[in-house]
């Protein structure tokens, strides 16, 4: 991710989306956490993104957009809304409606259940970090911490909303199409990627 940020700054690559599925881990953003992460019984890593602590694990699709904001007017708020739009478009064909909730970055169901988290960082107007969409993830892991400073029980997943198992492969085509629609360019199909092996989408 960091090497791609440098390449994007140099103009060596176009805007790119990394898709990855992480092993179980808690990350803590620059706003820190309330100490709950230490008792989660999981590896904990401090990262550069905004926000507090959150959980990543199998069954969660994590996207890292590497986007140059210079031609987009250096508008970070608009970029976050665009990322939310990518996720919302991707889950809509499954019959799940996600929406922005004022003052709460991420994607929400009925304004009460959070299905995707967003935390970004910006280096010389190039973005990194990004979104985490709960597809069919162990939601009890969120209850061991306070994700984004909230009660972990607020978190939901596509599997919970639909009442059936959902594979990450069901979401990848929708994410590609939504990425192309919102950020332009192409988002070609890539090879199947599993835990900790990134899939790159350029466009």
Q: With bands split at pLDDT 50, 70 and 90, how would you rate the model's confidence at 190?
A: very low
Q: Are 202 and 187 in contact (CB under 8 A)?
A: yes
Amino acid 191: pLDDT: 37
pLDDT digits (tens, 9 = 90+) for 50-99: 888 999 999 999 999 999 999 999 999 999 999 999 999 999 999 999 99
Task: Please tell us whether the domain made up of 2-202 is placed in CATH 3.20.20.70.
Answer: no
> Is 129 marked active-site?
no
113-117 average pLDDT score: 97
- SS3 at position 16: strand
Domain ranges of the chain: 2-202
- Paired strand residues for 114: 108, 155
Angle at 148 (CA atoms; ends 137, 131), nearest 5 degrees: 55
Of the residues 61, 80, 109, 148, only one is catalytic, namely 148
Q: pTM of the entire structure?
A: 0.89
């Amino acid at each position: 991710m960091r090497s791609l940020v440098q390449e994007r700054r140099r103009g060596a690559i176009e805007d790119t989306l990394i898709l990855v599925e992480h092993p179980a881990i808690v990350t803590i953003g620059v706003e820190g956490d309330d100490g709950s992460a230490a008792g989660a019984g999981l590896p904990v890593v401090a990262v550069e993104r905004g926000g507090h602590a959150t959980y990543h694990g199998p069954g969660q699709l994590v996207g890292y957009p590497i986007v140059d904001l210079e031609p987009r007017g250096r508008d970070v708020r608009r970029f976050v809304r665009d990322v939310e739009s990518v996720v919302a478009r991707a889950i809509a064909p499954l019959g799940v409606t996600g929406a922005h909730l004022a003052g709460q970055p991420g994607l929400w169901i009925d304004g009460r259940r959070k299905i995707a988290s967003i935390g970004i960082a910006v280096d010389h107007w190039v973005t990194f970090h990004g979104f985490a969409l709960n597809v069919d993830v162990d939601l009890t892991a969120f209850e061991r911490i306070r994700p984004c400073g909230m009660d972990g029980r607020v978190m939901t997943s596509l599997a919970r909303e639909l009442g059936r198992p959902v594979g990450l492969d069901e979401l990848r085509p929708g994410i590609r199409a939504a990425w192309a629609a919102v950020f332009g360019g192409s988002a070609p199909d890539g090879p199947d990627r599993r835990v900790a092996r990134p899939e790159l989408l350029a466009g």
